[in-house]
Chains A and B, each alone.
Chain A
Amino acid sequence: MTYFPEEVVEHIFDFLVSHRDRNAVSTVSKAWYQVERLSRRSVFVGNCYAVLPERVMTRFPGMKCLIVKGKPHFADFNLVPHDWGGFALPWIEAAAHGCPGLEKLRLKRMVVSDESLELLARSFPDFKALVLVSCEGFSTDGLAAIATHCRSLRELDLQENEVEDYGRQWLSCFPDSCTSLVSLNFSCLKGEVNGGALERLVARCRNLRGLKLNRAVSVESLIRILDRAPHLVELGTGSLTVDHHTEAYRRMINAFHKCKSLRNLSGFWDVDPRCLQSVYPVCPNLTVLNLSYAPSIQGADQVLDCIGDRGLVVVASTCKQLRELRVFPSDVYGTGTAAVTEEGLVAISSGCSKLNSLLYFCHRMTNAALITVAKNCPGFVRFRLCILDPGKSDPITNQPLDEGFGAIVQSCKDLRRLSLSGLLTDKVFLYIGEYSARLEMLSIAFAGDSDKGMIYVLNGCKNLRKLEIRDSPFGDAALLENVGKYETMRSLWMSSCEVTLGGCKALAAKMPRLNVEVINEWDESDETEENPSDAHKVEKMYVYRTLTGPRNEAPDFVWTL
C-alpha cells in the first residue's frame, strides 16, 4: 500500500466511516497518519479532558464536524458536583483559530455559556448544525445569536438542556432569508416562542424534516404547523390538552392523518388518553415512540386509554416496526394502577420483535419475564432496565435477577449498552463477563456481593469502554486487579463503593497516563478532611485515560492523585 499515490489512499479512507477505523489506520505508518489526518472531516472526542483542544485542531485542520463530551454520565443524576468542569469555550476558541471551516458541532454534558455561543455564531461562516445534549450555562440570548448570525443553519437540536429563558424572541431572530432549516428541536425550552414567527419559519423552510416543539406550543399552533409541513419525519408535539369532543381535536386528527412520513414521535405533554388515539393512525410506520412526558392515567375506563401495562399491550399490537422504546416513571408515587410491570415489557417484546433499544422504569421485574424478553428480542443493542426499588428481588420467586439478566446477555449478542437493577449477586457479573463480548457501556447500582463481581467484568468484557458503578461493595482489590484495562477504556466511575484513598493512590502511581480524580464534598467543619488517611473510603472517584495530565482548571474539591 505504500506504493499507492496519496490520492488513492485518501480515497480508500473515504470509505472508512467510523472514528475507530480511522484511528486504527492512522497508526499504520507515518504516511498513512498524514493522509488520514488531513482528510479527516469528523472528529469525536469522547472525554473533553482526554486531549487538549489545540492539539485536535492542529492534527485535523480539515475538520468539519466536532463532537465532544464532557461530564461523566452520572452527572445526569446529580452525582457530580455542579461546577466539576466540562467547559465548551476552550473548544470553540480553539476551533475558531484552527478550523474556521467547521460546519457542525455536537456537545454533550458540557457547560456552554452565551459567550461561547456568540463566538460560535460569528466564527464559522459555513456553520450548519448545532446539537446540544444535556448541556447548561446558556440562555435564549445565546440562541438568538445563533439564529441571527448562522446564515446556512440546517440543524438546531436542543435536547434536554437547562436553558435560562429570558423571554427574548430568539426564534424571531431567524431572518426571512433563512430557508435552510432541516431540523429544529427546542423541546427543552420553558418559555413561549412567537407562534406566528414559528409558523412562518416552518412555511419557508421547505426542507424541514424534523420539528420538536416545546410544551408552550398549543394544539392550535401544532395543527397549523402540520398543515404547512405534512412531510415531517420527526415530530415532537407541544402541549396536547384538547378535549376529544371538540372541533380542534378532529382537526388535529386530520392533520396527523396527512403526515404520511412520520417515523418518530415524541412530546405528548399533558396528553389526555383519548387524544393519544389520534396517534394510532400513524403508528404502523413508527420506528421511535417516546412517551416519556405522557402522564400515567389513573382509573381509565377503556383498555386503549391507559399508559401502563395495558397501554403497552396496545403499543405492542400497533407499532410493529418499533425499534426504540422509553418508558419513564411519570407516576413515581407507586399507587400502582397505571405503573408498568414485567407484563408490559413481555407484551412489548412479543409484539415488537425489531426492538433494539430499551429504557424501562418499572416497579417490579421477574426472571421469567426477562428470559422471555431475551428469547423474543435477541436484537437488543441497548438494554436499560431500572427497577425503582434498589435491590428488589423477583417478587414471585424471591430470587436475585441474575438469571434474567444472564439470559439477556446470552441471547443478545450485539448488546453494547446495559444498565442493571434489582437484587443481583456476583453471578450476574460472571454471566456478563462471559457472554457480553460487544458490551461497551455498563451501569451498575446496588449490585454484587464482593470484589469478584467487578473483576469478572474487567477481565471479561473485551470491548468495555465505560464502566460506572454506584453503591456496590467493590473495593481496592477489584480496582487494582487489572489496571492495564483502564487504558483501553474511556472512563471508570465509582461512587459509594468500598474503594479507599490508598487504593486510588496506588492506581494513580501505577498508571501515569490515567487521571485519577477523587471528588470530595466534605463539610468544612469536618476536621478529618485535612489529612485523610489512606484507609479513608472515597466517596466519588472518576478515572479516565488522558494525554494531558491533570487538568489545571479543576475545582478545589477535585483531587487528581
Chain B
Amino acid sequence: MSTTETGNSSTTESAVSGLDYEETQLTLAPPGGSRSELERKRGFSEGVDLSLETKDFLSGSSDEPPKAQVVGWPPVRSFRRNVLKSCTYVKVAVDGTPYLRKVDLEAYAGYQQLLTALEEMFSCFTARNYPNVRRLVDPVNGTEYVPTYEDKDGDWMLIGDVPWKMFVASCKRLRLMKSSEAVDIVVEHIDVHL
C-alpha cells in the first residue's frame, strides 16, 4: 500500500498545472472527490500559504501554476504562521511626494503585480518595461521613476534581479527613485548584465 506516499510525493515534487493536479491527485476520499476540494478550500481560507513549493527561480509571475497545498503541513501552529506572515508590510516612498504608503508584499504573486499595484496607488504613473529594467513614468511631466528597494543589509537595490520570493524575504522598504538620480544604478546594472 505504498501508493499514497508516492502519490503525494509525485504531486508535490513535480510542477503540474492546477487542472492536472486535480485529476491525478491520489486522495483517501469518499467517491466524488469532494473532499480534496474542501481541503484546498479550507487551506486557502485559513491562509495556509506555507506550501511545499520547490525552488522557484523564475520570475514568480502569476503565470506559475498553483503548487499542491497540503492542509496542516508543515506542522507549524497557526499562531506562529500568522506571526511570521505579518512582517511583509513595507513602506513605499516616491521621490517628491509628501507622504509614504505601505504595501503587503505577500499580497502579490510577482513583480508585475507589485508594479501594477504601485501604479494604481500613485495613480499618476504608467509602467514601462525596458529589457531588464522596469520603470514607471509620470505622464504629466514625463519624469521617469525607477523602482528600488532597501534590502536587509541596508543596500539600495534595483527591483527585479532576484527571484520574487527571495525579494519578498529581503525587502525592507521600497523607493521610487527619480530616474535622473537612478542613472548610476541603471548603468551599473546594464553593465553587469552585458
**Chain A interface: which of B47-55, B132-140, B174-182?**
B47-55
Indicate if the CB atoms of A333 and B53 lie closer than 8 Å.
yes
Tell me if B165 is interfacial: C-beta within 8 Å of chain A. Answer: yes
- Residues of A523-546 at the interface with B, using a CB-CB cut-off of 8 Å, are 523, 526, 528, 532, 536-537, 539
User: Which residues of the other chain, A, contact B6 by a CB distance below 8 angstroms?
Assistant: 391
| B9→A390 contact, CB < 8 A | yes
Interface residues contributed by chain B, number (CB under 8 Å): 52
Residues of chain A contacted by B3 (CB below 8 angstroms): 473
Least CB distance from B151 to A in Å reads: 8
Contacting residues, chain A, for B9 (C-beta < 8 A): 389-392, 423
- B residues 70-96 in Cβ contact with A at 8 Å: 70-80, 83-84, 87
Q: Is the beta-carbon distance between B77 and A336 smaller than 8 angstroms?
A: no
Q: Are A528 and B1 in contact (CB under 8 A)?
A: no
CA distance A440 to B26 in the complex (A): 32
For A285, the chain B residues whose CB sits under 8 A away are none
Among listed A93-101, A171-179, A218-226, A295-303, interface-contacting one: A295-303
The 7 closest A-B pairs by CB, nearest first: A77-B72, A473-B1, A333-B165, A391-B9, A391-B5, A332-B50, A76-B77
Are B74 and A332 touching (Cβ within 8 A)?
Answer: yes
Q: Which residues of chain A come closer than 8 Å to B74, judged between CB atoms? A: 329, 332, 361, 386, 388
* Complex CA distance for A526 and B74, rounded to whole angstroms: 29
Bound CA–CA A221/B98 (angstroms): 31
Contacts of B77 in A (CB 8 A): 76-77, 134, 160
Chain B nearest CB from A344 CB (Å) reads 17
How far is B56's CA from A445's CA once the two chains are assembled, in angstroms? Answer: 25
Q: How far is the CB of A75 from chain B (nearest CB, A)?
A: 10
In the complex, whether A497 has a CB less than 8 A from a CB of chain B is yes
A532 to B30, CA, bound (A): 10
- CB<8 Å pairs between A and B, sample of 22: A76-B78, A77-B72, A77-B73, A77-B77, A78-B72, A160-B79, A293-B84, A298-B151, A333-B168, A335-B55, A386-B75, A388-B52, A390-B8, A423-B9, A445-B75, A471-B8, A471-B28, A472-B4, A523-B38, A526-B32, A537-B30, A539-B35
* CB-CB nearest in chain A for B79: A160
The distance from the CB of A179 to the nearest CB of chain B, in whole angstroms, is 31
- A-chain residues with CB within 8 Å of residue B166 when the two chains form the complex: 298, 333, 335
Q: How far is the CA of A336 from the CA of B162 in the complex (A)?
A: 13
Inside 8 A of A162's CB, which chain B residues have their CB? 78-79
Contact pattern, A 472-503, Cβ under 8 Å of B = 1, otherwise 0:
11000000000000000000000011100000
Q: Give chain A's interface residues, CB within 8 Å of chain B.
A: 74, 76-79, 134, 160-162, 188, 215, 270, 272, 292-293, 295-299, 301, 328-336, 361, 386, 388-392, 419, 423, 425, 443, 445-447, 449-450, 470-473, 496-498, 521-523, 526, 528, 532, 536-537, 539
Q: How far is the CB of B40 from chain A (nearest CB, A)?
A: 13
Among candidates A215, A392, A522, residue contacting B34 with C-beta atoms closer than 8 Å? A522
Give the residue of B31, B71, B79 whose beta carbon is less than 8 angstroms from that of A161: B79
Chain A residues with CB below 8 A from B170, complex form: 298-299
- B169: Cβ under 8 A from any A Cβ: yes
Q: How far is the CB of B115 from chain A (nearest CB, A)?
A: 20
- In the bound assembly, the distance between CA atoms of A389 and B9 in angstroms comes to 8
- 8 Å CB contact of B169 from A272, A292, A298: A298
A533: nearest chain-B partner, CB-CB: B30
When the two chains form their complex, are residues A389 and B52 in contact, meaning their CB atoms are under 8 A apart? Answer: yes
Q: Residues of B with Cβ closer than 8 Å to A?
A: 1-6, 8-9, 12-13, 27-32, 34-35, 38, 42, 46, 48, 50-56, 70-80, 83-84, 87, 151-153, 163, 165-166, 168-170
Please name all residues of chain B whose beta carbon is closer than 8 Å to the beta carbon of A335 when the two chains form the complex.
55-56, 163, 165-166, 169
B1 & A328 in contact (Cβ 8 Å cutoff): no
Q: Which of B27, B30, B77 has the most CB of A within 10 A?
A: B30
User: Separation in Å of the A150 CB from the closest CB of chain B?
Assistant: 25
Residues in A whose Cβ lies below 8 Å from that of B1: 449-450, 473, 498
Closest chain-A Cβ to B190's Cβ sits at a distance in Å of: 22
Shortest CB–CB separation between residue B160 and chain A, in angstroms? 16
CA distance in complex: A463, B9 (Å): 32
In the complex the two chains form, is B48's CB within 8 Å of A473's CB? no
Q: A390 CA to B11 CA in the complex, in Å?
A: 11
Smallest CB gap from A335: residue in B = B166
Cβ distance A528 to chain B, nearest Cβ, rounded Å: 6
Q: Is there an interface contact between B55 and A334, defined as CB atoms closer than 8 Å?
A: yes
**A497 partner residues in chain B, CB cutoff 8 A:** 28
A160–B80 CB distance below 8 A: yes
Whether the pair A292, B80 counts as a contact (CB closer than 8 A) is: yes
Which of chain B's residues have a CB closer than 8 A to the CB of A536? 30
